[in-house]
Structure 1
Amino acid sequence: MSDSESREFCPRCGDPVPARAEPLPGVPRDRDARLCDACYFEDYDMVDAPDRIEVLVCSGCGAVHRGNRWVDVDARDYTDVAVDEVSEALGVHVNARDVTWAVDPEQVDENTIRMHCHFTGVVRETPLEESVVVPVKISRGTCDRCGRIAGGYYASTVQVRATDRTPTPEERSRAVEIAESHVAGKEGDGDREAFVTEVMETEDGPDVKLSTNRLGEEVSRRITRELGGSVESYPTLVTEDGDGNEVYRVTYAVRLPKFTPGDVIDPGDDEGPVLVRNVSGNLKGVRLTSGEPYEEPFEDETAGRRLATRDDAVETTVVTVEDDHAVQVLDPETYEAKTVPRPDFFDPDAETTPVVKTRAGLHILPD
């Protein structure tokens, strides 16, 4: 068979083209494979690009609307958003290999970015270059999450209160901090349903409104885990959803313990006052008469009474150490020498020591 008989000819221009390998069984034949390079590249587009891209961005949080949902994007500005959207929209021909591309954004106005995209690749062993320009229009709206926040939507309320007292300023601020930190962690994990709707300060303690019932439960448990106390929930039926399911709004009543760290209390066991050190879980402290550790569960919140706080302590002079169980100190009010119990935490070499005077008597406090 002669060379002329073994050659194929371009069906468009009639020029001879090199014979090409047959496709593998089951792989459809590319009808353009019989074209010569000149005819093939006449209609060849290495890049398929849209004429225009519109991007809807939430003006509140910067989320981008993709498909039928809002997506948080890690972008410094709208130019980064435009680059991401163009990257998703561009298509490269399947026959191109070793493709590289670069983009040069041009800010036309506040809402329009013109993306100059330059591509290089290899097709039929021929290096090619192609450039396209894609205008990106930025429009602004409000995502579902920001709409709910603006509308004051909430599903649960965490009420922080305390037994026989009002929460301290430190407890108030820490409870709110725990709630906001927990929600921020959920947001960081991509939970767009998590947000704090409102924090209300009342005379009895803060009320924190949250977006879901689950958040309310989690936040209330975290508060009591750190600050102590208990939680009770009170659901209220508010409506039904589209499927007929009942929708409840839940109030989580956090009840902080009767005592706080730093309180000097009489636990009612006739063994002397206790300095409270921790109220998470059980009531923990130190016995001021002996220095022994004290721990009891909160079985009866009405038991015991507060005698003073650590802030009531004053520094006084140590007169003499009498023995292993007693020491003389000056009464800070009368300046008389008084013999008081010597707890284990007392330093016998100290010249002064903090004391607190209550209806139970005069007692030394730990430094």
Structure 2
Amino acid sequence: MTRSGAFCPRCGDPIESDPGERPGQPDARDPDSVLCDACYFEEFDLVDAPDRIEVRVCSQCGAVHRGNRWVDVGAEDYTDIAIEETSEALGVHVDATDVSWQVAPEQVDRNTIRMHATFSGVVRGTAVTEEVVVPVKISRETCQRCGRIAGGSYASTVQVRAVDRTPTDEEMERAEAIAHEVVADMEATGDRDAFVTEVGEDDDGLNIKVSTTNIGKQIANRIVGEFGGTFSDSETLITEDEDGNEVYRVTYAIRLPPYRPGEVIDPEDGDGPVLVRSVQGNLKGTRLKTGKDYEASFEAGDAPDARRLGDRSDGVETTLVAIEDAHAVQVLDPETYEAKSIPRPKYLDADAETVPVLKSRAGLHVLPSDADETNDE
């Protein structure tokens, strides 16, 4: 060993080497760098650890409070969260190199995890190992989002209605599913203000209360985009915030079209029944007499004047008796079992033994199969 000619200011022993040449001692200007190894290690702590760590978690949704906000972590077991919080809270001495560590969590009770952390490193050319035990306390409370949900907070209502009818169960179920899909999309972007507060039915249709006006508008747009129809919005003043700004709730009133895809209607044009295919924009369908395409006029839009005759689901299979000519076939009446001549639409399969038919006040008509509904005129 070489002596530096310096002496330890604490014990007076000569120092073996110059402080700036010691391995693992990058900053010789550190006051402790002038100490001999014995004095240096006497008060040396490899790890700086807090006496205790508290992790705030929401007892409702499992979110973790970090900094000044709640973060969704999707954790059912908070051991990983405790390990992460512990690793961020522990500090390793700046003089240490080649540092490695491992942690062994010990579940004390439901709300306490004792973290046994073992660190090793090299300081002044000497291998150093230290173990610390840090208790992590899981503090369960209610996050702001869950508090708002529990309190019934909402900023907009989406009303699902229909023109001249009540929305079907399928339409209302799908509308509710769309609302949850929109919220899920917002949550995926990290928006914790997105939630459905309440869904309820009344005699007129479905009412969906949601947390923000933006979400309400997105839901209304998506429902109309899928089912057709229109929506309008109206504001209601409810209060003023702490800065004196007016706070409104917005109602988005959806009006679904009077007819649905799959319904059979009889427009007042004398050309016979139509199986509705679409109500996006102008109503479109298939003529049951000819199999040709039908589209309502621009003025009529999705609500042409027509009688409801039934639904595709009302159709029943019956025997195809004979092909009379290019415009007529004979089938068995599904109620009387008499052979009847009815119009032959172009989508009818002449080789079929049975065909689906709908009997209504407009007569007996052959229904198209799913593949037939897009036939050209």
Give the TM-score of the pair, scaled to structure 2: 0.89
Alpha-carbon RMSD:
2.3
Amino acid at match of 2:115: M
> Given that residues 357 and 366 in structure 2 are in contact (C-alpha distance below 8 angstroms), is that contact kept between their aligned partners in structure 1?
yes
Aligned to 1:330: 332
- In the alignment, the residues of structure 2 paired with residue 102 and residue 4 of structure 1 have an alpha-carbon distance, to the nearest angstrom, of 37
Q: CA deviation at 1:317?
A: 2.1
Amino acid at match of 1:191: D
Aligned to 1:271: 271
1:347 aligns with 2:345: no
Amino acid at match of 2:243: D
Aligned to 2:15: 16
Aligned to 2:155: 155
Output one character per residue of 1:24-81: Cα deviation in whole Å (capped at 9) or x when no partner. xxx8822222222222222221211101112222111122222322222242313222
1:360 is aligned, of 343, 359, 362, to: 362
> Given that residues 10 and 17 in structure 1 are in contact (C-alpha distance below 8 angstroms), is that contact kept between their aligned partners in structure 2?
no
Distance 1:101 1:75, change over 3 A: farther
> Given that residues 112 and 137 in structure 1 are in contact (C-alpha distance below 8 angstroms), is that contact kept between their aligned partners in structure 2?
yes
Aligned counterparts, 1:1-367, within 5 A: 7-13=5-11, 14-21=13-20, 29-296=29-296, 299-300=299-300, 301=303, 303-367=305-369
**Number of residue pairs matched by the alignment:** 362
- In the alignment, the residues of structure 2 paired with residue 99 and residue 17 of structure 1 have an alpha-carbon distance, to the nearest angstrom, of 25
Q: CA deviation at 1:160?
A: 0.8
Distance 1:40 1:306, change over 3 A: same
The SS at the match of 1:244 is coil
> Given that residues 275 and 287 in structure 2 are in contact (C-alpha distance below 8 angstroms), is that contact kept between their aligned partners in structure 1?
yes
Distance 1:10 1:299, change over 3 A: farther
Amino acid at match of 2:356: P
- In the alignment, the residues of structure 2 paired with residue 67 and residue 131 of structure 1 have an alpha-carbon distance, to the nearest angstrom, of 28
- In the alignment, the residues of structure 1 paired with residue 10 and residue 123 of structure 2 have an alpha-carbon distance, to the nearest angstrom, of 20
Q: CA deviation at 1:93?
A: 1.7
Give the TM-score of the pair, scaled to structure 1: 0.91
- In the alignment, the residues of structure 1 paired with residue 152 and residue 338 of structure 2 have an alpha-carbon distance, to the nearest angstrom, of 63
- In the alignment, the residues of structure 2 paired with residue 123 and residue 281 of structure 1 have an alpha-carbon distance, to the nearest angstrom, of 76
Distance 1:75 1:314, change over 3 A: closer
> Given that residues 2 and 16 in structure 2 are in contact (C-alpha distance below 8 angstroms), is that contact kept between their aligned partners in structure 1?
no
> Given that residues 283 and 298 in structure 1 are in contact (C-alpha distance below 8 angstroms), is that contact kept between their aligned partners in structure 2?
no
The SS at the match of 2:325 is coil
Output one character per residue of 1:108-166: Cα deviation in whole Å (capped at 9) or x when no partner. 22222211111112222322111111112222211111111111111111111111111
The SS at the match of 1:77 is coil
The SS at the match of 1:201 is strand
> Given that residues 261 and 278 in structure 1 are in contact (C-alpha distance below 8 angstroms), is that contact kept between their aligned partners in structure 2?
yes
Distance 1:364 1:302, change over 3 A: closer
The SS at the match of 1:16 is coil
> Where do 5+ consecutive residues of structure 2 fail to align?
370-377
The SS at the match of 1:86 is helix
> Given that residues 19 and 28 in structure 2 are in contact (C-alpha distance below 8 angstroms), is that contact kept between their aligned partners in structure 1?
no
- In the alignment, the residues of structure 1 paired with residue 322 and residue 4 of structure 2 have an alpha-carbon distance, to the nearest angstrom, of 120
> Given that residues 325 and 342 in structure 1 are in contact (C-alpha distance below 8 angstroms), is that contact kept between their aligned partners in structure 2?
yes
The SS at the match of 1:8 is coil
- In the alignment, the residues of structure 2 paired with residue 186 and residue 41 of structure 1 have an alpha-carbon distance, to the nearest angstrom, of 54
> Given that residues 225 and 281 in structure 1 are in contact (C-alpha distance below 8 angstroms), is that contact kept between their aligned partners in structure 2?
no
Q: CA deviation at 1:297?
A: 6.8
- In the alignment, the residues of structure 1 paired with residue 44 and residue 101 of structure 2 have an alpha-carbon distance, to the nearest angstrom, of 18
Q: CA deviation at 1:101?
A: 1.4
Q: CA deviation at 1:22?
A: 8.2
> Given that residues 330 and 337 in structure 1 are in contact (C-alpha distance below 8 angstroms), is that contact kept between their aligned partners in structure 2?
yes
Distance 1:165 1:33, change over 3 A: same
- Stretch moving more, 291-300 or 170-179: 291-300
